[in-house]
Amino acid sequence: MRDVNSLVAVVFSGLSALVIEDVVDDGQVVRVLARTRDVPVPCPVCGVPTGKVHGYHVRTVADVPVDGRQVVARIRVRRLVCSVLGCRRQTFREQVPGLIERLQRRTTRLTSQVSEVTKELCGRAASRLTRYLATPLSYATALRLLRRIPLPTVRAPRVIGVDDFALRRRHRYATIIIDAETGERVDVLPDREAATLEAWLRTKKGVEVVCRDGSATYAEAIRRALPDAVQVSDRWHLWQNLCDKVLAEVRAHAPCWATVNPPRPGGIHEQTIRERWHKVHALLDSGVGLLECARRLSLALNTVKRYARIPEPSADRITPRYRPTLVDPYRDHLRQRRAQDPAVPVTHLLDEIRELGYTGSANLLVRYLNQGRAEGHRPVTTPRRLARLLLTHPEHLWTKDTDLLGLLTAACPEMTALARLTGEFAALLTPAQANHDALTQWITTVRTADLPHLHSFCNGLELDRAAVNAGLTLPHHNGRTEGANTRTKKIMRQMHGRAGFDLLRHRILLQ
């Protein structure tokens, strides 16, 4: 018997505040019969302990499962009589602190465990999971438990990060505010209007630094609410803006650098673009409207508008991606034979490589030759690939990429200047006090170069120069805010179409 009691004390240690009288196994449910201890209990009104019993009640509560089965505890509690004359509570039902609370049907520890599940999965997903954990809940109960979880108390932050996220893309947005030093969520605002953020900032004391992106709306709200606060422009957004301008410059100078690495024969995409551009402009020059052009050429109206806007056919090229084929081992032989005799029939080439061991079909060889793969295996350089080479740290490039980048930039003086200026700005993204003067020198150098898209980038820097200087000289950034946004997107995917902003805000602040 002593061993059985010891086992019960271990398995049901969470019920140690009670006297366990019996444990019954009903198959799927383990029922525990228990009672409270015969000790005086303080009155909830006057606080005077009393042990005088007025009557008994039975409470049925669920506890954490054992051996994959539900545990239901039937607990006999006492109704006690207060011994103080004139007390407003003549009788009261005793509670078991830390075990069961008033009006609850679950023990405190079970409620705590289930609340953690609902905090991560919300309603319906939590309901499905708890069914397998032997603690079944309805989705409505899961939501009620989630809403009852108190929000953590966040100290007044000194450095905050502000960013927006889409509730419904292109229609509704919200603003998230975090402690930029610890990553703790501070608040979530229902929109991204300047007045809303300004009203929130006016209620907060002690904010000295605000990290943000290039939003003029947030900048104005911060300036009006906290004129003495330092605004820090996020370095990642500065780099992203530069990347867009670099790509635009590369596309604008494609006719220069593209001659270094011309496309192989069979550029169907480029040929189609040129043909469509000539057809559209021929119709426009003859007085045909955009809508009629779209109808005659069987193109979308937006496509016709795009061709009408550009003064010459786009030089963009798409890098072909081919899978290995049976012809690849014989590429050198095909290239040599076609160089000696460009008019050599395909049937002769097929016979020759079959003697060398080729086992593929004639159609595969014809397609291989039509794609231009016999002339060389050098990939076609696209504007996006060249921009990627320019924006990648030189130490992270392969030797062949470094050589290709040198050839492409040397073919065009503007590309040479662009490569140099991009590297110089990348060095400024490491915070240092000297970056303030270095940025001024960099902007002056850009103004003298024939790079109009970088001029536009410099104009944006000048408009927000104080925040940009702070971003390049101070260690603060908006990285933790972007991480919080990523987490928020996952939460929104779990709740999509099933909850409102108040529940979304509650879950974000619980993370």
CB atoms within 10 A of CB 333: 15
- The beta-carbon contacts of 403-412 under 8 Å, at least 24 apart in sequence, are 404/261, 407/260, 407/261, 408/257, 408/260, 408/261, 408/381, 409/257, 411/256, 411/257, 411/259, 411/260, 412/253, 412/256, 412/257
In the sheet that holds 230-233, the strands lie side by side as 185-189, 172-179, 159-168, 209-212, 230-233
Q: pLDDT value at position 156?
A: 82
User: For residue 89, what are the contacts with CB-CB under 8 A and spacing of at least 6?
Assistant: 43, 44, 45, 46, 82
Would you state the pLDDT for residue 18?
87
Sequence-distant (≥ 6) Cβ neighbours of residue 30 within 8 angstroms: 23, 24, 66, 67, 69, 70, 71, 72
Run means of pLDDT, 10 residues per run, the chain, 511 residues: 63 82 87 91 89 91 89 92 86 88 88 91 89 90 91 89 90 93 92 94 90 92 93 94 94 81 56 85 91 91 88 64 84 86 87 91 88 65 88 90 89 92 94 93 94 93 94 93 92 81 91 83
pLDDT of residue 369: 84
Q: Which pLDDT score is estimated for 316? A: 58
What is the structure's pLDDT at 2? 54
Residue 372 is predicted with a pLDDT of: 72
- How distant is the alpha carbon of residue 272 from its chain centre? 37
Residue 4's alpha-carbon distances to 20, 21, 25, in angstroms, are 12, 12, 15
CB 290 within 8 A of CB 305: yes
pTM metric for this prediction: 0.73
Residue 217: exposure state from Cβ atoms within 10 A (0-12, 13-18, ≥19): middle
* pLDDT at residue 268 in the model: 58
pLDDT for the residue 1: 44
Cα distance between residue 61 and residue 464, in whole Å = 61
- pLDDT in the model for residue 286: 92
- Check if the beta carbon of residue 234 is closer than 8 Å to that of residue 219: no
Q: Which of 472, 483, 434 minimizes the C-alpha distance to 231? A: 472
Backbone angles phi, psi at 321, to 5 degrees: -120, 110
What's the rounded Cα separation, in Å, for the pair 464 and 228? 16
Cα–Cα dist 358/325, whole Å: 11
The answer to whether residues 443 and 458 touch, using CB atoms and an 8 Å cutoff, is yes
Please state the length of the chain.
511
Residue tagged 């009261």 (tokens): 92
> E-strand spans in 213-365?
230-233
Question: Residue 377: what pLDDT?
Answer: 52
Q: What is the pLDDT of residue 487?
A: 92
